[in-house]
Homo-oligomer: A and B are copies of this chain.
Amino acid sequence: MLVKFYIKPRKGVLDPQGRAVAENLRSLGFSDVKDVKVGKYIEVYIEENDREKAIEKAKEMARKALVNEIIEDYEFEVVE
């Protein structure tokens, strides 16, 4: 199965990369850009056919290795 993780800075946490991208887009003429957040997109392919087990593993991976929950928010989905 494939697990897709979408990770982004929590609301209120400084996101200098997002700010830089927003400024860059505006300077390129995209004047209606209000805000940008830059995070991580991670795909994890696991040998696991049970969907429920894959979901449990995904949560554990996020907590133990992929996400810093103090400063990051995340969502994930299991596909295939």
**In the complex, which range does the number of interface residues on chain A fall in?**
20 to 34
Residues in chain A within 8 A of chain B (CB atoms): 4, 6-8, 21-22, 24-25, 28, 30, 32-48, 57, 60-61, 64-66
Known: A8-B43, A21-B65, A32-B57. 19 other contacts (CB 8 A): A7-B41, A8-B41, A22-B44, A24-B65, A25-B61, A25-B65, A28-B64, A30-B57, A30-B60, A30-B61, A32-B46, A32-B47, A34-B46, A35-B44, A36-B44, A38-B40, A38-B42, A40-B41, A41-B41
Copies in the complex: 2
Which 4 pairs of residues, A with B, have the shortest CB-CB distance?
A: A41-B41, A32-B47, A39-B41, A37-B43
